[in-house]
Structure 1
Amino acid sequence: MLKPKYEWQLADKKYTALQVSQLAQACQVSEITAEVLLSRGYDTPEKVEVFLTADPKMIHDPFLLHDMKKAVDRIQQAIVANEKIVVYGDYDADGVTSTTIMFETLNELGANVDYFVPDRFKDGYGPNMAEYQQFIENGVTLLVTVDNGVAGNEPIDYAVAHGMDVIVTDHHELPEKLPNATAIVHPRYPGSEYPFNDLSGVGVAFKVASALLDEVPEEFLDLVAIGTIGDLVSLTDENRFLVTNGLKLLSEGQRVGLNALLKVSGLENQKINEQDIGFTIAPRLNAVGRIGNAGEAVELLTTFDEEKADLIAKHIDSVNDQRKQLVEDIYAEAIFQAQNTDNSNRKTLVITGTDWHQGVLGIVASRLVEATGKPTIVLSGNHSDSDLKGSGRSVAALNLFEALNAKREIYENFGGHHMAVGLTIKKENIPQLRDLFEAAAVEVNLDEHQALPLKIDGVVKADQVSVTAIQDLSKLGPFGTDNPIPEFEIKFDQIADAKQIGANQDHLKFQMAGKSQKIDAIAFKQGAMLPYLQVQPGDVKVVGTLELNTWRNQTKPQVMVKDLCVDAVPVIDQRTTHLNKQMFDRQTTYVFFHKKTYEKVQHYLNPAAQVAILSGESTLETVLAGDLTLVDCPDSLTRFANWLANQKPDAMTVYFYQRNNAYLDGMPTRQQSAKVFKFFANHPVVDLKKQLPDVVAHLHMEQNLLVFLIQVFFELGFVKIDNGRVSLVPNPKPQKLSVAPTYQLRQQQIKTQEKLLYSKSAALTAWIQARLTDNNKGVAE
């Protein structure tokens, strides 16, 4: 079977069909939407109304945030005194939107203000001592951090000691010792009365702006939506209201720089949703900070010059393309390293490279975790560097920060949390890092093969999916952290019209047919699954999200596939008479029934390729699992059937290459056998190295058949063979040809090849699948 990528977890039904129907009627939504609401605890019309209504009352009083009054008083004092103020930001989407809001607010109030966004590579994350010193030398007397600062004790202490006040606005984890700042505005400050603790950095900046302006500055909500979604904070409570209204503002296009960015991103004049931010807008803003200077992103967001905005947006878009190519190039090297023998046997991965761009190593690490299921650290440096820098990503079962923090002394720099870390380490300490990392995984009994959980909100039939139902579901958005987009298992009767799409044919498109309609489905990066759907169209299961697709003014339902599986073992028929290099570049175990075939194609195989050579008597004892590719054709159908019954494949591809075709050549007739024997009786010595073509022509017989009979005669003692010279043995013992091992082997090969090489594809697939589940060992028919 083709196993699902995730562990499907269907929501517990703590409600009845009657409750679904009643809630759907009371709230005037589809039963699909009502079922999702019930599964998420919204079990009364009153609760549903509160959840679905974007009520301004959800906005909390900014002065409930710790030190807000102190911050506002100090900023107002600086504005009145015309002090130099700097807004100190961060280089991700949350940081640049925070910087923009704080800068524009202070500018609107008449402040003498500038902004600074640190360079990821020169300045690092958060307060930087050298930059703080420069601000002081330039006469800055007030610095306001956004989306950073709570861990900046040393630079902030230095600033205070040298006459510069610092106001920290942040949302990151609070350290044990807090900085000596004039004010610390933070939603999770100990003892804080603020009712919602999951604001993003831009959310905190927005609250400071609200307090300074003495109103809710709705013109900033587009920026709040981008930073909040980009930083993956909870989309509940206040954030839900901010993002909902921010999406509306984004769609109205009131900010020049964002309009230019939407245009180059292909989103111009469209209704913007949270997925557009998460997959299109935020990644572009992040890209500038990853491989350039994020100050350019703030410049884009703050400009009123359309021509300038267009130029910056185009450059940011090109930087994003560069970022994607860097990720692809580095990932290709990294995954190759991850699959070597040493790493294949480990529960964790420490991948190192030379001259890899450090701004994208976190993305590469995330992709490796997704591909392998293993917590991963990716590091890089130059040949001349003594240090390597990089990022790590983890899985839920392993707290990455705690695992690596156990030996803090081996790092030059280190920080992070449960799922992600950043670090700098000397090259000579890499072995210690690998041992520490692996030991932590062993201690928690980490199973890299354990699939990640996927919560499924419900099961729907293809015939239930409609435009109206999907429009109802969209009312539950914006979707994100703590309010995930609903996932459904789709029930259907048959897969239809499955095909690969995309420039590289790496995506999959198909239809799920119910009794009354067919629903289109798209599975990104799943193009390789096409053969499995084609050979087992009735055994496919699909989980995905329901969306609308508009094409040529026609709107239809569409399923975006999250995961799929095939209940039966897919058998993919790729039988061939010729082997080439392209047939050996898959992630599979290549199975050879003849060592000679392996030797013939060995140069095609990657050194790390999984190979099983099953020639000899140990064939039946070899049990294989995962994706298997049977390269050549076995000799015995009975032994092959018995071997299949012991296997545990997820999928099986068959090439069944056969160099000598016994089935087509057939067995020699009695007359042919007698003719060959008589020839050797009349020719005492025949040198086959020189005379074989002449003998073949003389006897009017296929060469393969002649060679076969000579081998049979040799095994029976009728002839001798010495260095290619064949001579008749005087008065040989009479024996039947059928007792010769080569004769018996050919009989088996004919039977095997008839079944495996010349049966129709459907019949072959059914026969192999039956053998894979066959408990009656030895049944080959």
Structure 2
Amino acid sequence: MNPVLRQRLLPPGHAIAGVHPVLDRVLRARGVASADDLALGLDNLLPPGTLTGLDAAAEVLATAVMQGRRIVLVGDFDADGATSVALGILALRWMGAVEPGYLVPNRFEFGYGLTPPIAAIAADQGAQLLVTVDNGISSHAGVAEAHAHGMQVIVTDHHLPGPSLPAADVIVNPNLTDSRFPSKSLAGVGVIFYVMAALRQALRGAGWFERRGLAVPSLAELLDLVALGTIADVVALDRNNRILVEQGLRRIRAGRCRPGLLALLGVGGRDAERAVASDLAFAAGPRLNAAGRLEDMTVGIECLLAEDARSAAALAGRLDALNRERRAIEARMQDEALADLEARIDGDALTAALCLYDANWHQGVVGILASRLRERFHRPALVFAPAGDGELKGSGRSIPGLHLRDAIARVDSLQPGLIPRFGGHAGAAGLSLAEADFDTFSSLFTQVVADSVDPAQFRGELLTDGPLQASDLELPLAEEIRAAGPWGQGFPEPVFHNVFRVHSRRIVGERHLRLQLSPVDSPRHSVEAIAFGAVERGWDGLPETIEMAYRLDVNHWQGRKRLQLMVVDMRPLTER
């Protein structure tokens, strides 16, 4: 069933000076009130003063750097974790730290974050100060183990804290209950960026750079990593995150970024000189994530740390191969999941939540499958795979109106002990289960969702920015919208909807559809559109007159550029 199309409401207020009327309504519908709100220079970045723990973390780090103590970062195995580690290692090197190191748990051996075994490995490597990046807020046992080995621990994280905090020496997290930092949506890489900026200030105040004859590093050179991690982690693009991402994108477009990031864009077929947020989201991010999903994130981090194009290209090629393997695994799992759901559907009814498990599924890909199922069926989806010793690892994605972590916590309260570990936030969460408890959990979770969500929400809703006039279906507006980004989570790229007549259609790449269209009220105005994944959604069999939701895109081909509509949804005109 297609989602309900609903046009975004336009708040009262004056038009934004100097922008196209269509872009004006798009921006005002996203909370932009004036041209000042569009200023994305670094001078508009939130000051660090209200980020709880920042000064204390800088003091501990500065002491460790100046005393030549061994600093080891403990990261996460996703793109946010990889960029956080790379940023931290580079910044520490530039500030004179002695051989800073890193550890990223292999998800298949150690699980997530700073665990006691990871703390023990760090101790064996001579670590004296552990700094978690993009994890640690729930690492009570890992912090205790690190302390038992005589290490100090700084936790830098952005995930929601639980009822109690680990006994780290310092915690920096914008989502601590006592934090007054306005941007609660910083990614892990954004948090460590702020920490490194505070460290630089502390070292400068202590005269460290002058004594050692070191140049004071420009941390703006690391904003490409901040942009990649922020976009890949799908955090909300509030103004502060938009500044970080935009500044990183400007460096990428100017070629002043890490060789590894340029190589990742290259193997993804993207032009760095025209890079936008979606290139990070759909080309660089997935290839970086593939390492953590299938093998070990070390290869991804080393790609970002590479200092020359040749070594970066070799590592990016390995990541690209892993991503192709990941896509093949995902396609097989998706086919099996759809077959499973079809077999279990009672009439036309789906349960309130989708909980699926297969003994042959890959735990590194369950989160992607959960996202695909959520998008297709407009229901919260939790997908599980075996993790060994009778345990399952699950990853979930939610729909608007259901806080996924809270829903899992509700199941935990109904049957204490059922869920050994869980964590996450409103839109995504992960958990562990005993294989024998899967059916019990599935039943309880489905009931919790059914009790919490209005059934009308299961149809889904697609917010649009309304229809366009035929005269607006032109390249200049598409270019102006592209330049008004970065677009992403919480600041979505504009989607419009109109009724079109289809003049021609042809299948490309076996699964996609290329169309030639014209608005029904302007039959001579012909436009081209591309619909990815159209065949599996049945769009190749739609009638001649359709209602279509779409984005305006700029298609570059053989030195020329032209307007192209990117199809988001298609349906017969009669379906509402």
Query: Is residue 380 of structure 1 aligned with residue 402 of structure 2?
Result: no
Alignment of 1:438-517 (within 5 A): 438-444=446-452, 446-447=454-455, 450-492=458-500, 494-497=501-504, 499-513=505-519, 514-517=522-525
Q: Which amino acid aligns with 1:242?
A: L
Pairwise CA distance, 1:138:
3.5
1:84 — aligned with what?
70
Query: Is residue 196 of structure 1 aligned with residue 195 of structure 2?
Result: no
Q: Which amino acid aligns with 1:436?
A: L
CA distance in 2, matches of 1:194, 1:422: 26
Find 2:573's aligned residue among 548, 567, 573: 567
Q: Which amino acid aligns with 1:376?
A: A
CA distance in 2, matches of 1:163, 1:530: 62
Contact 1:362 1:393 in 2 (8 A): yes
Pairwise CA distance, 1:319:
0.2
Contact 1:548 1:557 in 2 (8 A): yes
Query: Is residue 393 of structure 1 aligned with residue 377 of structure 2?
Result: no
Alignment of 1:699-710 (within 5 A): none
1:53 — aligned with what?
39
Instruction: Classify 1:531/1:486 alpha carbon distance in 2 versus 1 (closer, same or farther; 3 Å).
Output: closer
CA distance in 2, matches of 1:170, 1:139: 23
Instruction: Classify 1:15/1:238 alpha carbon distance in 2 versus 1 (closer, same or farther; 3 Å).
Output: closer
Pairwise CA distance, 1:206:
0.7
Give secondary structure in 2 for the equivalent of 1:107. Answer: helix
Give secondary structure in 2 for the equivalent of 1:115. Answer: strand
Contact 2:252 2:273 in 1 (8 A): no
1:278 — aligned with what?
281
* TM superposition score normalised by structure 1: 0.67
Contact 2:157 2:172 in 1 (8 A): yes
Pairwise CA distance, 1:568:
3.6
Instruction: Classify 1:338/1:408 alpha carbon distance in 2 versus 1 (closer, same or farther; 3 Å).
Output: farther
CA distance in 2, matches of 1:381, 1:521: 41
Find 1:93's aligned residue among 65, 76, 79: 79
Deviates more, 1:330-339 or 1:510-519: 510-519
List alignment gaps of at least 5 residues for structure 1: 570-649, 651-781
Instruction: Classify 1:32/1:516 alpha carbon distance in 2 versus 1 (closer, same or farther; 3 Å).
Output: farther
Contact 2:104 2:297 in 1 (8 A): yes
| Bigger RCO (CA 8 Å, 6+ sep) | 2
Deviates more, 1:407-416 or 1:244-253: 407-416
Q: Deviation per CA, 1:456-495, whole angstroms, max 9, x where unpaired?
A: 1222122322222222222321001221111112355x32
Q: Which amino acid aligns with 1:495?
A: V
Instruction: Classify 1:268/1:519 alpha carbon distance in 2 versus 1 (closer, same or farther; 3 Å).
Output: closer
Contact 1:462 1:519 in 2 (8 A): no
CA distance in 1, matches of 2:378, 2:11: 32
Instruction: Classify 1:41/1:180 alpha carbon distance in 2 versus 1 (closer, same or farther; 3 Å).
Output: closer
Instruction: Classify 1:441/1:52 alpha carbon distance in 2 versus 1 (closer, same or farther; 3 Å).
Output: closer
CA distance in 2, matches of 1:234, 1:373: 20
Contact 1:33 1:473 in 2 (8 A): yes
Query: Is residue 152 of structure 1 aligned with residue 139 of structure 2?
Result: yes
Instruction: Classify 1:148/1:13 alpha carbon distance in 2 versus 1 (closer, same or farther; 3 Å).
Output: closer
Query: Is residue 131 of structure 1 aligned with residue 118 of structure 2?
Result: yes
Q: Deviation per CA, 1:675-702, whole angstroms, max 9, x where unpaired?
A: xxxxxxxxxxxxxxxxxxxxxxxxxxxx
Q: Deviation per CA, 1:165-207, whole angstroms, max 9, x where unpaired?
A: 0011111102221122121112233333433222111011111
Give RMSD over aligned pairs: 2.4
1:435 — aligned with what?
443
Contact 2:478 2:553 in 1 (8 A): yes
Pairwise CA distance, 1:420:
2.9
Give secondary structure in 2 for the equivalent of 1:140. Answer: coil
Instruction: Classify 1:349/1:470 alpha carbon distance in 2 versus 1 (closer, same or farther; 3 Å).
Output: closer
* TM superposition score normalised by structure 2: 0.89
Instruction: Classify 1:155/1:510 alpha carbon distance in 2 versus 1 (closer, same or farther; 3 Å).
Output: same
Contact 1:462 1:518 in 2 (8 A): no
Give secondary structure in 1 for the equivalent of 2:561. Answer: strand
Give secondary structure in 2 for the equivalent of 1:512. Answer: strand
2:20 — aligned with what?
30
Find 1:72's aligned residue among 58, 61, 70: 58
Give secondary structure in 2 for the equivalent of 1:391. Answer: strand
Instruction: Classify 1:321/1:511 alpha carbon distance in 2 versus 1 (closer, same or farther; 3 Å).
Output: same
CA distance in 2, matches of 1:505, 1:135: 47
Q: Which amino acid aligns with 2:544?
A: P
Q: Deviation per CA, 1:103-142, whole angstroms, max 9, x where unpaired?
A: 1111112212111111111121111101212222433211
1:759 — aligned with what?
none
2:312 — aligned with what?
309
Query: Is residue 359 of structure 1 aligned with residue 364 of structure 2?
Result: yes
The count of aligned residue pairs is: 550
2:210 — aligned with what?
none
CA distance in 2, matches of 1:443, 1:193: 34
Instruction: Classify 1:122/1:41 alpha carbon distance in 2 versus 1 (closer, same or farther; 3 Å).
Output: closer
Pairwise CA distance, 1:530:
5.0
Give secondary structure in 2 for the equivalent of 1:410. Answer: coil
Pairwise CA distance, 1:415:
2.9
1:9 — aligned with what?
6
Give 1 or 2 for the bigger CA radius of gyration: 1
Instruction: Classify 1:195/1:388 alpha carbon distance in 2 versus 1 (closer, same or farther; 3 Å).
Output: closer
Alignment of 1:671-750 (within 5 A): none
Give secondary structure in 2 for the equivalent of 1:66. Answer: coil
Give secondary structure in 2 for the equivalent of 1:377. Answer: strand
1:223 — aligned with what?
225
Contact 2:514 2:528 in 1 (8 A): no
Give secondary structure in 2 for the equivalent of 1:354. Answer: coil
Instruction: Classify 1:211/1:121 alpha carbon distance in 2 versus 1 (closer, same or farther; 3 Å).
Output: same
2:164 — aligned with what?
177
Find 1:526's aligned residue among 510, 527, 534: 534
CA distance in 2, matches of 1:379, 1:40: 36
Pairwise CA distance, 1:281:
0.6
Q: Deviation per CA, 1:637-691, whole angstroms, max 9, x where unpaired?
A: xxxxxxxxxxxxx9xxxxxxxxxxxxxxxxxxxxxxxxxxxxxxxxxxxxxxxxx
CA distance in 2, matches of 1:13, 1:543: 18
1:710 — aligned with what?
none
Query: Is residue 186 of structure 1 aligned with residue 173 of structure 2?
Result: yes
Q: Deviation per CA, 1:17-39, whole angstroms, max 9, x where unpaired?
A: xx66xx5xx41x32211222343
Find 2:262's aligned residue among 251, 259, 263: 259
Q: Which amino acid aligns with 1:520?
A: E
Contact 1:86 1:114 in 2 (8 A): yes
Pairwise CA distance, 1:271:
1.3
CA distance in 1, matches of 2:331, 2:88: 36
Instruction: Classify 1:409/1:257 alpha carbon distance in 2 versus 1 (closer, same or farther; 3 Å).
Output: same
Pairwise CA distance, 1:41:
4.4
Instruction: Classify 1:477/1:453 alpha carbon distance in 2 versus 1 (closer, same or farther; 3 Å).
Output: same
Q: Deviation per CA, 1:615-645, whole angstroms, max 9, x where unpaired?
A: xxxxxxxxxxxxxxxxxxxxxxxxxxxxxxx
Contact 1:372 1:448 in 2 (8 A): no
Instruction: Classify 1:394/1:242 alpha carbon distance in 2 versus 1 (closer, same or farther; 3 Å).
Output: closer
Give secondary structure in 2 for the equivalent of 1:9. Answer: strand
Instruction: Classify 1:381/1:482 alpha carbon distance in 2 versus 1 (closer, same or farther; 3 Å).
Output: closer
Q: Which amino acid aligns with 2:393?
A: K
Instruction: Classify 1:282/1:408 alpha carbon distance in 2 versus 1 (closer, same or farther; 3 Å).
Output: farther
